[in-house]
Each structure stands twice: as C-alpha cells, then as structure tokens.
Amino acid sequence: MTERVDLPQGTLETLILKTLTWGTMHGFGIGRWIEQASGDSLTIEEGSLYPALHRMEKRGWIDAEWRQTENNRRGKYYALTPEGRRQLKAQSESWLTVVRSVGRVLDTSKQPS
Amino acid sequence: MRDPSWRRYLRFWGPDVRSDVDDELAFHIELRVDQLVAQGMDPAAARAAAWRRIGDAEALARTCREIDGERLTNARRREWVQGTWAELRVAARQLRRYPVLASVAVLTLALGLGASTAIFSALYAVMLRPLPYADADRMVRITETMRGAETSVGAGQFKEWLARSTAFESLGAYLQTTYNLTEGTPERVRAAFVTSGLFRARYVKPAFGRYFLPEEDQVGREHVVVLSYGLFEQRFAGDPRIVGRPIRMSGETYTVVGVAPAEFSTATPGDQLWTALALRPEHKASFSDHWLTVYAKRKPGVSQAQAQRDMERVSREIAQLHPDDMVDRSARVYDFRDDLVADHERSLTTLFGAVGFVLLLACLNVTNLLLARATVRRKETAIRAALGATRGTIVRHFLMESLVLAAAGAVLAFVVSRLTLRALLGLAPAEIPGLGHAGQGPATAVFLAVTSLGVAVLLGLLPALRGLRSVEPALRMGGRTGSATTTRDRLRSLLVVSEVALALALVTGAGLFVRSARKLNDVDVGFSPTGLITARVSLASSRYSTPEIVQQTYLELVDRMRRLPHVVSASANSMPPLAGGAVSVDVRVEGRAYAPGNEPEAQFHIVTPGYFETAHTRLAAGRLFTVYDRDRATLVAVINEALARRLWPNESAIGKRVACCAEGPAPWREVVGVVGDTRQFLSRVPQPELYVPIEQTPPTSWSWHGNSLAFVVRTDGNIAEATRGIRAAIAETDATLPVYDALTYDERLKLASASNRFSTVLFSALAALALVLAAVGLYGVLAFSVAQRSFEMGVRVALGARPIDVLALVSRQGMRLVAGGLAVGLVLAMTASRVMASLLYQVAPNDPVTYLTAGVLLVGVGALACYVPARRASRADPTTALRA
C-alpha cells in the first residue's frame, strides 16, 4: 500500500480547479481523477470534496449544471468559470513558489555563515 | 449581457436546495457502487462500503445545504437589484417618451425640493447645528428681571451671584465696547470687556496662548487682550509670535495673551478682541446700575429649572441686603442656544413652513400629471396584469417611475438649492447668528436625499393604487369613454382644490409681508433721511483727558465740516436715530416723586446746536438749542413729544424743570423746547427722549458713550464728495482717529428693514412659485378633461351649442375648483398666518385687504388657466371630434 498524505488547507480547491481544466466533471469523477493523478497517494474524502465544491460554486469559481449520463442517471456536473481559471493560475503560482522555497531550504547542505 | 448561469439553473430546477444535495449524494453513491462492483465486489456489500466511506452523510448534506442556502440568498439579492435596475431603466425610457410631461414634473420637483433644501440648510445652520463649545447644552445666559421684563445685570448683583449661586460651575460678565486700534493704520475695532469666567462658561480651546486668568479680573491687571482669529489673521498676519507682545489701543498698552479660535464668537457681527473686565470696588458696591450681560455654565446634573430656582433664591437674598434696589427685581436663566436663535426662530420656521407648502404643492402637481398619465395607461396596466404581473410588480412599476422623476428632480434641486441659498445669504440681515455656515456639512445632503425619497413614495403611491383599481374595468371598457365625471376626475379635482388652497395661503402670507414692508416704508422717522449722513469718531486717547477738551474738539470738527463743499449743515448727536443702541437715564421732575420702579426713563442724547435743524426734526413748542446754551448759562434741555406726554400729559412742558444722570442732587434743567418724536429702531414706537446741549452735558455722560459722538451732516446730494471732505477734516484734526459707522440714512433705513425685506422677498418668491404651480395644475386638469371630453363637446356643438356655451361650460368647471380652493385656502391662511403675527409690522394676520387682494389674484390666475383649454374646447369641430 502506498503512503497516505494529508492535504494542506486550501490545496484541495486548487486541485479541483486543476482537474476541471480537463473538462466538465461530476464530484465523483473529480475525486477519482485527483486520486489517480497522485498515484493513489491521496485519498479525497467526500466530507471535504463536496463542501469544497459547493463553496467554490458560491464564490463563482465553478458553475454547476444537471445533466443526464449515458446510463440515464441525473448527475451534477461542474465546470470552470473564467474567475475559476484566474484563481487556478494565482493559486498554482503561489503553491509552486512555496514548494520551491521550502525545497531549497531543505536541500541546503551548507551551514548558514 | 449574458445571464449568469445560476439564473438558468434557478429557472429550470427551482431553488430546491434540499433535494439537490440529496440527489447529488445519491448519484455519487451509484458511481462508487459501479466502481466497486467492477472491481468484483458484491452489489449489496459495495453499497454498504460506499456509505461507510462517506461517514456521516447527514452532516455532509447539512454543510452543503448551508452553503447553497447562502449562495441562493446572495443570488436573490443580486437578482432583486438587477431587476430593480432594469425596472428603473424601463421607467426612465418610458418617461423619455413623454418629454414635456417628464420635464415639467422634474422641473416642478426641482424647484420644490431645491427651495426646501435651501431654507432647511439655513434653518439647520442657525437652529440645529451643534455649537462649537464644550458642554454647549449646559450653557446659559442669566439676566435680571424687573417686573418680569429682562434687564441688564448690575455689577453688585453679579458679584453676589458669583458668591451665592450654587447651580453654576462658571459665570462670566460681558460688556461690549470699541477701541481705536493704532497698530499700523488706525482702525475702530468691535470689542468686549469680559471677566475670566466668560471664557470658561463658553469654552473652546484657544488657538494660541491662553484666555484670561482669574487674577486678571482685578484692577491693575486688566491690560490684557485676547484676539479673535479674524483680527489675528487680518491685522497680525496670522503670526502666533504676537502672543506675549504689547499692542496700542485707544492710547493705552495691552499685552496679547492669546488668540481665540475661529469658531469662538460672542456677538453677531463678531467681536474682534476681548479685554479683561476689572470691576472696581465702587462698581461692585452699586446695585442700581444695570449694564452687564452674564453668561454661565450649569453644573453637570443641574437642570434648567433648578438653575432658575437657584437664581430666584439668590435674588431674594440680595433683596434682603439691598431692599431699595431690588424692588420688583429677580433673575432669569435662559438656555444659551434657545436664546441665541430666539429672534430668528420665528422667521425661519415660518419660512420653512411656507417652503413646505410649496413642496407639497409641487408634489400635488406632479401627482396630478402622473394620474393623468395613469389614466391614459389604464390599458397598458391592465394588459400587464392580464399577462401575470402581480399587484406588487405593478405598484413597483409606478414607484420606479416616480423614483426616476424624484431622483432627476433631486439632482437639479441640488443646483437650485445652491443658487437659492446664495440669493438668500445675500439678502439675509447680517445679525442672524450662524447663517454663514448654511449649506456646509452633510446635513443638507441628507435632508435632500430623505425628502426626495419621501416625495418619490408620495408621488408613486396614488397613481399606483389608482392603476391597480382600474385593472379590471379597463379591459372590459371600449376605446371611447363618454362620461366625464369619474372617481379619477374627482380625485384630480380634489388635488387642484388643495393646490389652489395652498397657493392662496402662500400668496396671503406674502401679501401680509408686503403690506408690512409698505407700512415700514411709510413710517414717519421724525427727520428727513435723504441726503443725511452720519459718521462716528471716538476721542478715546489720552489727548482727550477732560470733558472740556472733548467738547471743544467736537465743536471745532462740526465747525470745519459746516464749511466743507457739498455740506449744507453739520451737527453731532451721541445717539443719532436708527443707528442702533440707546443710553437710557432716569428722569426726575421738580416737585414730583414717583414710586420706586415707576420712575420715568428717557433716552439720553448729547447734541450740538443745529442738530435738529440739520436733521429736519420738527419743533413742536418752545425753542431749539443755540450757541448760547453753554456751561455758565442756565442749564437747559429739549425733550421729545413722547417724554412731554409721559411727564406733563395735560399741560405745557416749556419752563418745567427736570434732572437726570448725575449722582447726588442733580442740578435742575429747564425744558426750553419740545421736538417731534424720532425713531431709534424702525419698527419700534418712539421712546421718550431727552436732549442736552454739548456744552452743558454732565461730565460722566461722556463715559457712557466712550467719548464718542456721531456727526450728522446734511449734504446737497453729493454724498461721496461730502464724505471724503468729512474724513479729511477729521484726519486734519487727529490723524490717529478712525472714522466708523459712516453710513447714509438711505443705507441705515435699508439695514433697519433688512429682516422684514428678507421675509418679504422670500415669501413673495415662494408665493409666485405657488401661483405658477397652481395655475399649471388647474390648466393640466382642464386641458386633460377637455381632451377626454372632445367627443361630448363635438356632440354638444353638433346639437347647436354655441362656442360661448362651451367656453362657459369648461370655465365653470374650472372656476368651481378655484372657488373650492379659495374656501379651503381662506381657512388655511387664517390659521397659518397666526404664527406670523410677531413678524408683521402694523398689519393684523387676518388683514382683510390682503385676503381680498390674494383672492382676486388667484381668481385672475385661475381664469387665465381656464381660458386656454376652454377656448380650445369651444373651437371643437364636431366632425373631427365625432369621427375620432
């Protein structure tokens, strides 16, 4: 079994936004995609995923729409809004900055003078 | 603009948050089950596992529902705003289709709102604006009273008040004076003596330096001065280093100890500086001279009534010590703010009431216009209703329209109010305190906004209700209405009647002021003002140390002036008529004793020989002063008819002997002449007056006037040249003497009637506006009714009615409304004008001439407003009318 990691606060939203860049998706699909993309090292819990989706819908980062699926079920599908796209850009940039900075510190072999 | 997607979502699915969240979770479970089954799990076990994985599904659903609920609330709010905005745009667009109606309505509202806002800002500045002083709500003025009438305060009484009263934390005495400020160009400055307590009773932090110390209330320490901010900037270049320096005033040296901030003031127009008031022991021992004004601050927790009781107790205590001086005397405590505005409160509230009438009239007028439109639009409204518009939506639609009108009116009203305020400030009498602040601060804007909103609701409501009621019948009715009298017409007629009534009340009010103004104009002032000028100097410096030098200097100056070109005759008077202010003295009569408190008083004048001749004051009996009435000759006096009536109602005054003014047994003076009454104040009846020749005046009398006299000079009409000559003559005698109070009598008369003119002009403007509005309203109703009845008129003409018959028919309809309005207006005017009584001069509030004139004027305007539509009706062409 692979190692489990916990997501830092707010990261789930960034990941949802990233997922939706591939196209319209329902909640289950979003969760699965993130888990698979992380090589199953992440587990996305429903208790976090759905409140995050609804919060993002309220903020206008994503839109929701009810659609029929191929096996005739009714599902709620989410899509990125232009505002969501802007959020993703900003959030991934700051995330990468943090990761790079933290990584640089951890990798340093020299003792500070 | 693209609809936000939440709206599509809303429209389609409805805002059912609960089932949405449940559906979404159920969908999730299905997909998870599919996944687990695909991995080879048994379906029942898969379903159980899927639920287990979620954990507390109910808590999750609740969280999501809460978030969705918030989202929907936001969305609804946004939708309401956008919907209203859209409605507003629709309303604006519809109004643009009726440009004449819309502009008349907007203009009417702008005038009504603008005028009310201007008057409100004046009222606010004077009566409601917070005072700049610390604990302003505890500030009071205390006066002595004599049989209930207010008098100034004696120095002895003031000393006792300080010692005995318990209700006040500070008491200060105040006495106006003037100085010749001789730093740089000599200038006469308005000033006041004040005790140190005054600055504590009316406290604002000094701009620089300090106020007076308690020890500076003592003789020998009093040569200190606090500058007003205005004088500090204008004469001392706003340089704070002046504090601590000496300055020269009226031949003496004073040390500047501080500068008061700009908002501190003790009079209107403001005092320019304050010097310390040191009461001498002989002042403090005197309980019979009353010459101070006293301001104080109540202790925290002491009410106005308690302060009043405290002062009454103190007065009783003083009366036990000095029974003779305290006959019928007590004290009264006035709230500072109330007292400050008391003189102007009535005139401002009356104006505010009048402008309220005008605003109401404007609203009625616009309502009338909108009602007419609502009638035309009955079908439109009915169709909207039939298409599913709720009553709420229809009412909102009407309200939006009036909101657009009111908003446009308010914007324009802002401009109108600025212009009105400027005109108003230019016209206002100078002595209204605080008026200069009018229009500043947010209060005016708030008033305009709130009033406009109120007006919008008022305007929209009636047409909206009317619109609602007409929803059903309108569709059923055919295209043409035959009947003329419907409820709607009755309502509109009622509005016109109210308009005429309001207009009559306003025109009557204006009429009363105009009549007052004419009465004031016709007042016999007792002298001939045309070409007469005055200019005052004050021989205050040490050069003029004895009364003899003062007298001699004045006589020489008068002599110089007499010889100037363009001067017909020259003289001097210590208190010339209409110059504001008077010095009152007790008059004793040889061989008579008056009960204490009933001694005759007279206004005291020092005059040069030739004064009465110069002023053209009528000689009623005896003779006038001559150059022989000098120090060693028999002491003489001239009195006016008012004093003669008071002292000798049934016999001649000539040859009788009187005494006045001096302490101890005064030498008797023989009354040698009686002259006609002159007025010290334009609207007050002439007071008893006593004149003494300059060379025989008691030496102490000079100090009452600060050694000052006003030259009274009759010119040949070339006032500019004569004034220049007078100034030059004064400068030749003493270049350090400032000339002040230099005015022609035409100017003085204008000043004296300023407050009456203020009310008259404003009221007349409001009345004119009211007349126009009422006429427009009447015209509107008749024109509309004529247009609606064109079919009926056509029938009448076809059946043989002559144009004159139709004319009479329509005019009768209009004049009936006018008559109704006049009847209601008469009652309104008689009630409302009662509050104006104190503002009028010799005109009763129910003056029949005014009412008759106002009525005739309204009938005339009404007839004019009727004539135009009536004439149009009378020219109705039956074929056109019937075919239409």
Q: Specify the residue for token string 């509230």.
A: B349
Nearest CB among A26, A51, A54 relative to B27 is that of A26
State whether residue B291 is helix, strand or coil. strand
B224 pLDDT more than 90: yes
Chain A residues whose beta carbon lies within 8 Å of the beta carbon of residue B2: none
State the pLDDT at residue B665: 64
Measured between CA atoms, how close is A41 to chain B, in angstroms?
A: 17
Taking residues B445-451, report their average pLDDT: 92
CA distances from B340 to B151, B176, B210 (A): 16, 16, 26
Taking residues B164-178, report their average pLDDT: 92
Taking residues B290-309, report their average pLDDT: 93
Measured between CA atoms, how close is B61 to chain A, in angstroms?
A: 9
Phi and psi dihedrals of A64, rounded to 5? Answer: -120, 150
B1 pLDDT more than 50: no
State the pLDDT at residue B481: 47
The distance from CA B870 to its chain's CA centroid, rounded to whole angstroms, is 43
A50 pLDDT more than 70: yes
Residues B248-285: pLDDT tens digits? 988 889 999 999 999 898 887 789 999 999 988 888 88
B485 pLDDT more than 50: no
Q: Which residue has the higher pLDDT, B6 or B624?
A: B624
Give the closest residue to B269 by CA, choosing from B497, B424, B382, B430: B430
State the pLDDT at residue B442: 86
The first and second tokens of residue B25, run together, are 């979770």
H helices of B226-335, where? Answer: 229-235, 281-284, 304-321
Give the closest residue to A7 by CA, choosing from A36, A48, A60: A48
How far apart (Å, rounded) are the C-alpha atoms in residues B173 and B205?
19
Taking residues A57-63, report their average pLDDT: 92
Give the confidence band of B610 by pLDDT, cuts at 50, 70, 90: very high
A108 pLDDT more than 90: no
State the pLDDT at residue B471: 58
State the pLDDT at residue A5: 60
Nearest CB among B9, B23, B71 relative to A74 is that of B23
State the pLDDT at residue B666: 64
Give the confidence band of B6 by pLDDT, cuts at 50, 70, 90: very low
Cα atoms found within 13 Å of the Cα of residue B448, Cβ hemisphere only: 29
Give the confidence band of B384 by pLDDT, cuts at 50, 70, 90: confident
Measured between CA atoms, how close is B71 to chain A, in angstroms?
A: 5
State the pLDDT at residue B607: 95
How far apart (Å, rounded) are the C-alpha atoms in residues B199 and B261?
12
Phi and psi dihedrals of B199, rounded to 5? Answer: -70, -20
Q: Which residue has the higher pLDDT, B589 or B872?
A: B589
B473-482 long-range contacts, CB within 8 A, separation 24+: B474/B378, B474/B379, B474/B381, B474/B382, B475/B379, B475/B382, B475/B383, B475/B386, B480/B791, B481/B788, B482/B791, B482/B792
Give the closest residue to A64 by CA, choosing from A84, A82, A49, A79: A79
Taking residues B527-540, report their average pLDDT: 89
B11 pLDDT more than 50: no
Measured between CA atoms, how close is A90 to chain B, in angstroms?
A: 23
Q: Which residue has the higher pLDDT, B146 or B744?
A: B744
B3 pLDDT more than 50: no
In whole numbers, what is the pLDDT of chain B averaged over residues? Answer: 86
Q: Residue A79: closest CA among chain B residues belongs to which residue?
A: B5
State the pLDDT at residue B476: 53
- Could you report the predicted ipTM of this complex, rounded to two decimals? 0.89
Q: Which amino acid is at B207?
A: A
What percent of chain B has pLDDT above 90?
43
Residues B822-872: pLDDT tens digits? 999 999 999 988 888 888 888 899 899 999 999 999 999 989 888 888 888
Taking residues B285-310, report their average pLDDT: 91
In whole numbers, what is the pLDDT of chain A averaged over residues? Answer: 86
B475 pLDDT more than 60: no
How far apart (Å, rounded) are the C-alpha atoms in residues B756 and B143?
28
Residues B756-781: pLDDT tens digits? 888 888 889 999 999 988 888 888 88
How far apart (Å, rounded) are the C-alpha atoms in residues B125 and B146?
33
Q: Verify whether the Cβ–Cβ distance B27 to A64 is below 8 Å.
A: no
What percent of chain B has pLDDT above 70?
95
State the pLDDT at residue B344: 82
Chain A residues whose beta carbon lies within 8 Å of the beta carbon of residue B28: 26-28, 46, 50
State the pLDDT at residue B559: 94
Chain A residues whose beta carbon lies within 8 Å of the beta carbon of residue B27: 26, 28, 73-76
Measured between CA atoms, how close is A68 to chain B, in angstroms?
A: 11
State the pLDDT at residue B432: 79
Question: 23-62 in B: which are within 8 Å (CB) of A?
Answer: 23-25, 27-28, 30-32, 35, 53-56, 59-60
Number of residues that this document lists for chain A: 113
State the pLDDT at residue A41: 84
Measured between CA atoms, how close is B54 to chain A, in angstroms?
A: 6
Give the closest residue to B458 by CA, choosing from B121, B765, B770, B112: B112
Nearest CB among B20, B53, B71 relative to A46 is that of B53
Give the confidence band of B349 by pLDDT, cuts at 50, 70, 90: confident
Q: Verify whether the Cβ–Cβ distance A58 to B71 is below 8 Å.
A: yes
3-state SS record for B49-86: HHHHHHCCHHHHHHHHHHHHHHHHHHHHHHHHHHHHHH
How far apart (Å, rounded) are the C-alpha atoms in residues B377 and B389?
15
Q: Verify whether the Cβ–Cβ distance B60 to A76 is below 8 Å.
A: no
State the pLDDT at residue A6: 65
Taking residues B471-479, report their average pLDDT: 52
State whether residue B391 is helix, strand or coil. helix
CB B341 within 8 A of CB B124: no
Q: State the CB neighbour count (10 A cutoff) for residue B595.
A: 7
State the pLDDT at residue B12: 45
H helices of A1-113, where? Answer: 11-20, 27-37, 46-59, 82-107
Q: For the ranges B176-185, B378-387, B596-605, B708-717, which has the lowest average pLDDT?
A: B378-387
A contact test, residue of B31, B34, B76 with most A CBs within 10 A: B31
Whether residue B18 lies within 8 A of chain A, CB to CB, comes out as: no
